[in-house]
C-alpha cells in the first residue's frame, strides 16, 4: 500500500491548480517532494526533473504530465462578466453551473459559471447542448473596471473542487488526468532510490500534454535528457461503468491493476520489461491495443532524438475530463512497484532494439 506520507503528497498535488501552460504551482509541489531523495532541476518549458543514480547507465526517463485541463479568460464585458475558452479538451456540458477558481494576479478569484436558466430558454432549444460561447463567469463584479481589479484577460482557471476519499480505496479529483502520472513516476523513483539498479533514472513531470500537438514538454525534456528508454504514465478510460463498450476499448477495471499498451508506437522490449516485472511481483494488469498514436506523451517521446524505446503504462480512470475523475489508490501503488522493478532489470547490456 502507499505510505500515508505519499498519499498526503498526492492530495497536495491534485488540489494545486495548474492547467496547461500554467503548471508552475503544482510543479513546485512536485520538486519539493523530490528533493528528499533525488537531484532536482527544471527547464524553460516548465518541466521538472528528478534524478537517481546520476552516474548510472543506461538512462531511463519516467514521464507523467503534471498539467490539467482548464479555462482561460478571453473577454471581460462592461458589466464585469468574464468569457472563456478551454485549455484542453472540454465537454462544455461539464462546465454548466460549476464553481471556478481563477489564478488572478494577486491570488485566487472564485466565480460561478452562468447560463440562461431553463425557464427562459425557448422550448425548441432546451434539448440543445450548450456551447462554450453560451457560458460566462460571474465573479460578483459590477463593471469591467471592478472585475479588472481582480482578473485579466489571459488569466487561467480550473473547476473549484477538492480531492475526496471514496470507499474501496478510491479517490476522486478534477486533476487525476494526469497529475497522478506525475505522482506515480516520482513514487517509482523513490522506490528505485531505495534499491537502485545499474540505470540512471530520471522522473519528469512534463508540461502542456493536454495541448501537445507538437509534443509539448515531453519532447523538450526527452531531447534534453537523452534517454535510451522511456516509460510514460497516463490515465486510460476505465470500462467498468454502465454503457461502456468493451469491444471497442477493452476491459479495464478500477482496482484491476495498471494497463499496459501494446501497439504501433510501443517498444516490444520495454513492454516486455513491464510485463515481466508485473509477473514477478504478482501484480494484475490488463492490455490495451493501440494501432495508431496513443494520445499521450509517448507519441512525442518515442520519435525524439534518434528514437527512444518507449512504453506506456496507464491507470484506469472513470469520468475523464470532469470534476470527478476516479481511480484506485491500489492501482497507483501497483504501478509504482512495477515501474521500479522494471528499471532495476535494465543494465548496460540491455538491447532496446527489437530483433
Catalytic pick among 23, 209, 210, 330: 209
DSSP 259: E
d(CA 140, CA 158): 18
Q: Residue-wise over 141-155: b if at least 16 C-beta within 10 A, else e? A: beeeeebeebbeeeb
Count how many Cα atoms sit within 13 Å of the Cα of residue 188 in the half-sphere of its side chain.
Answer: 36
**Residue from 20, 19, 43, 40 nearest 30 by CA:** 40
CA 104 from centroid of its chain's CA atoms: 23
Residues 6+ apart with CB under 8 A from 228: 58, 59, 60, 308, 309, 352
d(CA 83, CA 261): 39
d(CA 322, CA 343): 33
**Dihedral class, residue 5 (left if φ above 0, else alpha if ψ from -120 to 50, else beta):** alpha
Residues 6+ apart with CB under 8 A from 205: 23, 26, 27, 30, 47, 48, 49, 64, 65, 66, 182, 185, 186
Burial class for 81, CB neighbours closer than 10 Å (0-12, 13-18, 19+)? middle
194 is known as an active-site residue: no
Q: Which residues are known catalytic residues? A: 209
Amino acid at each position: 500500500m502507499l505510505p500515508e506520507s505519499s498519499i498526503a503528497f498526492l492530495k497536495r498535488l491534485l488540489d494545486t491548480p495548474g492547467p496547461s501552460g500554467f503548471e508552475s504551482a503544482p510543479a513546485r509541489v512536485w520538486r519539493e517532494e523530490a528533493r528528499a531523495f533525488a537531484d532536482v532541476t527544471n527547464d524553460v518549458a516548465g518541466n521538472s526533473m528528478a534524478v537517481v543514480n546520476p552516474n548510472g547507465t543506461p538512462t531511463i526517463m519516467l514521464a507523467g504530465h503534471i498539467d490539467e485541463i482548464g479555462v482561460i479568460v478571453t473577454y471581460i464585458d462592461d458589466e464585469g462578466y468574464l468569457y472563456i475558452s478551454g485549455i484542453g479538451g472540454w465537454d462544455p456540458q461539464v462546465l454548466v453551473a460549476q464553481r471556478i477558481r481563477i489564478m488572478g494576479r494577486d491570488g485566487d478569484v472564485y466565480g460561478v459559471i452562468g447560463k440562461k436558466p431553463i425557464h427562459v430558454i425557448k422550448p425548441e432549444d432546451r434539448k440543445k447542448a450548450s456551447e462554450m460561447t453560451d457560458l460566462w463567469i460571474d465573479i460578483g463584479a459590477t463593471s469591467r473596471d471592478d472585475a479588472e481589479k481582480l482578473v485579466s484577460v489571459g488569466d487561467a482557471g480550473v473547476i473549484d473542487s477538492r480531492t475526496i476519499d471514496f470507499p474501496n480505496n478510491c479517490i476522486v479529483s478534477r486533476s487525476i488526468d494526469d497529475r497522478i502520472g506525475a505522482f506515480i513516476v516520482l513514487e517509482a523513483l523513490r522506490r528505485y532510490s531505495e534499491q537502485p539498479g545499474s540505470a540512471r533514472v530520471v522522473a519528469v513531470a512534463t508540461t502542456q500534454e493536454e495541448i501537445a500537438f507538437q509534443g509539448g514538454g515531453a519532447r523538450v525534456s526527452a531531447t534534453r535528457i537523452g534517454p535510451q528508454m522511456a516509460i510514460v504514465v497516463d490515465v486510460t478510460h476505465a470500462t467498468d461503468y454502465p454503457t461502456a463498450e468493451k469491444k471497442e476499448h477493452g476491459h479495464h477495471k478500477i482496482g484491476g491493476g495498471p494497463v499496459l499498451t501494446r501497439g504501433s508506437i510501443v517498444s516490444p522490449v520495454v513492454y516486455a520489461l513491464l510485463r515481466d516485472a508485473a509477473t514477478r511481483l504478482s501484480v494484475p494488469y490488463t492490455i490495451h491495443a493501440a494501432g495508431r498514436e496513443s494520445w499521450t506523451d509517448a507519441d512525442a517521446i518515442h520519435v525524439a532524438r534518434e528514437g527512444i524505446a518507449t512504453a506506456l503504462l496507464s491507470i484506469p480512470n472513470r469520468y475523464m475530463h470532469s470534476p470527478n475523475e476516479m481511480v484506485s489508490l491500489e492501482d497507483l501503488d501497483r504501478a509504482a512497484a512495477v515501474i521500479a522493478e522494471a528499471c532495476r532489470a535494465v543494465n548496460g547490456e540491455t538491447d532496446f532494439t527489437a530483433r
